[in-house]
Amino acid sequence: MKNWSTDAVKFKQESPENYEIWKMSQMINYGCDGEKISYTRLVELLPKLEIDDEMRSLLTWYINEQTKLKPTN
């Protein structure tokens, strides 16, 4: 992921949680550039992500579908 307007190293050091929210929002909005998004972190951070409503609805649907597919033991 490339970003020219943010000092990612400084941001990550100063505010790790906000950095993670920012990075995942960037990956969803602009592409992952080969990186993978962690499903677990997506579930945790989804309410905080800065993404449009349509994408939030799609990701919420995806998470709900994945939950339905998990076997219950």
What pLDDT digit, counting tens, does each position of 33-57 carry? 889 999 999 999 999 999 999 999 9
Range of the domain at 18: 9-69
Structural domain includes residue 15: yes
CA-CA distance, 8 to 67, in Å (whole number)?
Answer: 33
Q: What is the pLDDT of residue 2?
A: 60
Domain count of the chain?
1
Count of residues making up the chain:
73
Residue 28: pLDDT above 60? yes
| Residue 41 covered by a domain | yes
Residue 49 lies in a domain: yes
Q: Where are the alpha helices (DSSP H) in the chain?
A: 8-14, 16-30, 39-45, 53-69
Residue 48 lies in a domain: yes
CA 44 to CA 73: how far, in whole Å?
Answer: 23
